[in-house]
Amino acid sequence: MRLDRYLVEVGLGSRSEVKQIVKKGLIKVNGQVEKSAKTHIREGEDQIHYQDQELTYQTFYYWMLNKPAGVLSATQDSSSKTVLDLLDPDDWRKDLFPVGRLDKDTEGLLLLTNNGPLAHAMLSPKRHVTKVYRALVAGEMTVEDQKRFAEGIRFKDFTSKPAELELLQVGQGCSEVLIRIQEGKFHQVKRMVAACGKEVTYLERLSMGALQLDPELARGTYRALREEELALLQDYDVPL
């Protein structure tokens, strides 16, 4: 890999910034100052130092995004803004993708990564990964609805697995609820609520497995996963 690309990938700066850094003689490759950004290095083998600090190459990237309404859970789209468009150009990589999809109007937790096996494991129906959603609903949800969720709801194309409906606030024609499902069928939460004769007016994902949306993370912003959050992903038994 070219030295300048490597330096961008380890997060030292943008392409033009790292070129300047190299030109100034601040980068050493295997102990020797390297002033050509075009030099090829062997990532993971050559020792690269910036001002005597060793740079380590990262294979996988993990960003926790607090998705806002109005952006698509896709990598690119000709007409709409996508979740990848929310990344700073320095953090953007063409191999990043969202783990699963949230509807365009759904907000909340979305993991962006380039770790395919992890995404596959998190989305695999066999793993029964619990997703928790907070929903505002037009209509008053009832104990009867809770039973329907728990029993599984039959649709034309599938029958939902047992799910949990927790009533947070109900009254004056509307409800605030928490919904825990272990599947990820298209519009699943909205369809389950609609099957009870009510309508989701707002939907936010709070967690996916053990990974929880950071309440300090402002809507529309993202940050790298922390060590302790990465440790939670070890349960999926894939290289991280």
Token representation of residue 123: 């989305």
- Residue 125's nearest CA partner among 143, 107, 145, 100 is 100
Dist. CA 26–CA 28, nearest whole Å: 7
Q: With respect to ligand URA, which residue has the nearer C-beta, 27 or 203?
A: 203
Tell me which residues in 168-207 interact with ligand URA (CB under 6 A).
Answer: 187-190, 203
Question: Residue written as tokens 């929903």?
Answer: 135
Q: Are the beta carbons of 24 and 62 closer than 8 angstroms?
A: no
Min dist. Cβ of residue 233 to ligand URA (A) = 21
What's the first-to-final CA gap in the chain, in angstroms? Answer: 21
Tell me which residues in 99-118 interact with ligand URA (CB under 6 A).
Answer: 102-103, 106
- Residue 210's nearest CA partner among 150, 97, 121 is 121
Q: With respect to ligand URA, which residue has the nearer C-beta, 96 or 110?
A: 110
Token representation of residue 3: 């030295």
In whole angstroms, how far apart are CA 49 and each of 3, 8, 44?
12, 14, 13
Q: With respect to ligand URA, which residue has the nearer C-beta, 113 or 188?
A: 188
Q: Please confirm, yes or no, whether 103 is among the known catalytic residues.
A: yes
3-state helix, strand, coil in the chain (%, to 5): 25, 30, 45
Token representation of residue 210: 């053990």
Min dist. Cβ of residue 5 to ligand URA (A) = 35
Q: With respect to ligand URA, which residue has the nearer C-beta, 19 or 190?
A: 190
Min dist. Cβ of residue 164 to ligand URA (A) = 14
Q: Which of 103, 145, 157, 235 is catalytic?
A: 103
Q: What angle do CA 197, 198, 202 make, to 5 degrees?
A: 155
Report helix, strand or coil for 9. Answer: helix
Question: Residue written as tokens 């939907």?
Answer: 203
Q: With respect to ligand URA, which residue has the nearer C-beta, 175 or 188?
A: 188
Mark residues 52-91: x for contact with ligand URA by CB under 6 A, - for none: ----------------------------------------
Report helix, strand or coil for 150. Answer: helix
Mark residues 203-232: x for contact with ligand URA by CB under 6 A, - for none: x-----------------------------
Q: Which residues are catalytic?
A: 103
| Residues of the shown chain interacting with ligand URA in the complex, contacts defined by CB under 6 A | 102-103, 106, 187-190, 203
